Amino acid sequence: MTPRNAQTAAANPVLRIVRSTSRRTRLVIAGAIGTLAAAAVAAWIWWPTGNHGEPVVANNYSLNFKVCFVDYPDDTASAAASDATWRALQQTAATGTVNAERVTIPPGSTDLATYVAGMTQRRCGLIATVGTPLDTAVHSAAAANAAQQFLSISDTSSNTTPNISVVSGSSTELPSRIQEIVAQLARPAGTTKP
């Protein structure tokens, strides 16, 4: 050690400790200091600020009345009624106490009863269908699920069970009739699920 370094080492206790430790110990200490510094920087970057802005308002989905609309695009004869039904359900959902869900059966499907019966597992308060091809599927699902409410929009369907509401008419008449049925069945938000 040169005289100048000796004076510096004598004046600085940290330098004295560093020189008296082995190289391996110094590397471990340097690694620990580096890790602590990196953790401090990461905590500073990801630390939440006090101003979170406006709170996010979300409807409690599970307490709203749920209408499930089963759409069958292969039934081109009922396309206008299908569009009118979906618009009516969306307008009803805009009230905030009803949730509308649309499920489209894949084109070319022949086992329509499976799709309609599967909707009973989704906890829908009302399952709505449009068109003659879905009539048989609605009636078989209604017979197997007496507590489930169905809405059949069809000119050929008949109301043979108490849990099926049948509506027919032009695409201009349908929305008000559909909204009336949904309003009768829907429960206010905050009540138990159907």
Which pLDDT belongs to residue 1? 52
Please say if the pLDDT value at position 173 is more than 90.
no
Residue 81 or residue 193, greater confidence: 81
Please say if the pLDDT value at position 61 is more than 70.
no
Confirm if 147 and 129 have CB atoms less than 8 A apart.
no
How many angstroms separate the CA atoms of 157 and 155, rounded? 6
Please state, for a pLDDT cut of 90, what percent of the chain lies above it. Answer: 21
Tell me whether residue 98 is exposed, middle or buried, using C-beta atoms within 10 angstroms of its C-beta: 0 to 12, 13 to 18, 19 or more.
Answer: buried
- Reported as a single tens digit per residue, the pLDDT across 74-121 is 888 888 888 999 999 999 888 888 889 999 999 888 889 998 988 888
How many angstroms separate the CA atoms of 95 and 58, rounded? 14
Instruction: Set out the domains of the chain in order of their start, with CATH numbers.
Output: 3-46 (no CATH), 61-185 (3.40.50.2300)
Which alpha helices (H) appear in the chain, and where do they start and end?
A: 3-11, 13-20, 23-46, 79-93, 112-119, 135-144, 174-185
- Which pTM value belongs to this model? 0.63
DSSP state of 134: G
**Amino acid residing at 180:** E
Which pLDDT belongs to residue 73? 87
